[in-house]
Structure 1
């Protein structure tokens, strides 16, 4: 009589489960360390690239936290039937890793933006100019609207001492960000009598330009982040038929793009 062959175990060896748990626990440990630390974008990209490279070179089963860090993605232990299947797997791993990097970078940018926004608001409170400054966060930018009287004498584009103090106090928060910044000058509808500026177009443009020059030449912020524009009286936020409305329209706006 022929002897029956002993049944062979199917699938990965038993030690693989313990090894997989160990790898998962190590990864969770490092994810926790990462969540409690402050990492700059360059360092994070290097770590993410390393993880991505490791994932696409897995031949056996393993596991890793997904982008929300709430569940585990378990990789199949079985071998692939063809090179095409393996290529698709690697492509999927790369796609998932890239999504994780994008999500993390977006969260990091939002965190930095919120921190800078809070510092700007604190600075305005410290300067005691809350009644002359309007700060609001829109979908695509943070708007800082400052009354003209903080920065300029009537009909002038020269920044007064108080305006320089305000700009210098805002500069550290702006320096911590990499966002593009738009500076725009606005006036009321009263015609210019100053021979230096023929119309409110020239006056508002000169004021915005001088604010940019102060931030870049005195406070040494990066010039390529700034754009200066003058709008004259053509984008009012108040009624030009009243003194109160005209005062609101005489302003400098700083838009920090997201």
Structure 2
């Protein structure tokens, strides 16, 4: 083959790319023709599809070539000549972030658990005192917001004898009411035992006592209330995660606790 033939073969390579381009353009015009509105109903469908496409692709790239920049150049806020950064009309399709939906579910279920606690778990003396909002953590059972859900906190002084890991017999009814309410929501729960820094005088160390108390509640949830074993886990942290100072009796009382963490899968 001569050099002239090689040059002619190399020069025909653009035909493949040109054919691909024409095929893509043809497909695009066929789709556009299929979206041609015949009436009001079809026009709304076209607008809906258009809004969805714009919403899907309306994302600013991390970096834009300097010769294409016409606006701010901060990462995530750069703009180029074919991108309009402000929406002038209300979008037809409203996108809800999943995190917002989960947050609403958490708030709803958390309030349901709080009502169960107020109506069935709290002592009459607690209910009649009209406690202040900032004093809610001193209650025997309380609910608190968490980063991945919420936490039901059980103070050990209300549920256990000193140095014991079994819940008091008279308080098992409260644990049953709480467990039934949690089971209705079907969430994954993590039960954590905590102590203060004062060494135990009995047969268990702080590590052992915290783990045993969490395990007792976990086994109760599974064996007595029918929780799925793969939806419950227990752990003991001793004094490693205090929520108050260990230098005062009141702080140590708050640190001696069992927490039932209700987790939500994103």
Q: Same fold (TM over 0.5)?
A: yes
- Counterpart of 1:227 in 2: which secondary structure? strand
- Alpha-carbon contact 2:214-2:235 (below 8 Å) kept: yes
Report the counterpart of residue 243 of structure 1 in structure 2.
Answer: 249
Aligned partners of 1:116 and 1:150: how far apart in 2? 24
Query: How far off is 1:108 after superposition?
Result: 5.2
Q: Where does residue 205 of structure 1 map in the other structure?
A: 211
Mapping of residues 44-123 of structure 1, within 5 Å: 62=46, 64=48, 103=96, 109-123=102-116
Length-normalised TM-score, structure 2: 0.57
Q: Which residue of 2 aligns with 1:133?
A: 141
What residue is the counterpart of 2:38 in the other structure? 16
1:158 counterpart residue number: 166
Match of 1:37 in 2: none
The alpha-carbon deviation at position 105 of structure 1 amounts to 6.2
1:18/1:233 CA distance change after superposition, 3 Å: closer
Q: How far did residue 219 of structure 1 move?
A: 0.9
1:189 equivalent in alignment to 2:197: yes
Q: CA contact under 8 A between 2:116 and 2:181: conserved in structure 1?
A: no
**Preserved contact between residue 142 and residue 255 of structure 1 (Cα < 8 Å):** yes
Asked if 1 retains the 8 angstrom alpha-carbon contact of 2:110 and 2:143, the reply is no
2:178 to 158, 162, 170: 170
Question: Any unmatched runs of 5+ in structure 1?
Answer: 1-10, 25-60, 67-71, 76-99
Q: Which residue of 2 aligns with 1:230?
A: 236
Distance change in 2, residues 1:174/1:104 (3 Å) = farther
Cα drift, residue 12 of structure 1? 8.1
**What is aligned with 1:78?**
none
